[in-house]
């Protein structure tokens, strides 16, 4: 599987997926990404889901790139001095 994939949440935009990945629907059927790097919609407004079509810009979608706070389970484990599971 090579080096795996990198998924980057872009500020106010999509999830950019780079690297060695497979895109499948919830039934496991392959979705042809059509390219090696894809942008997946996270604003919910794209007309070509799961791909981004740029609508996030017109819809005023706003989200940070990094998490604004840790996931609840990770925060609880951190407070308990234990590492978060993979």
Q: Which of 45, 50, 74, 77 binds ligand FES (CB under 6 A)?
A: 45
Q: Which stretch binds ligand FES (CB under 6 A): 19-27, 28-36, 47-55, 71-79?
A: 47-55
Stretch that binds ligand FES, among 27-35, 43-51, 66-74, 78-86 (CB under 6 A): 43-51
How far is 28 from 13, CA to CA, in rounded Å?
A: 26
List 33, 42, 74, 77, residue binding ligand FES (CB under 6 A): 42
CA distances from residue 83 to 69, 77, 78 in whole angstroms, order as listed: 16, 6, 6
Degrees, nearest 5: CA angle 2-18-9: 135
Site residues (CB under 6 A) for ligand FES?
Answer: 13-14, 41-43, 45-46, 52-56
């Amino acid at each position: 599987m090579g080096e795996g994939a990198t998924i980057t949440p872009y500020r106010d935009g999509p999830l950019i997926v780079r690297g060695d990945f497979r895109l499948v629907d919830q039934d496991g059927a392959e979705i042809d990404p059509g390219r090696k790097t894809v942008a997946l919609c996270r604003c919910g407004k794209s007309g070509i889901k799961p791909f981004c079509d740029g609508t996030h810009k017109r819809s005023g979608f706003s989200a940070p790139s990094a998490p604004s706070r840790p996931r609840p389970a990770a925060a609880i484990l951190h407070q308990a001095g234990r590492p978060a599971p993979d």
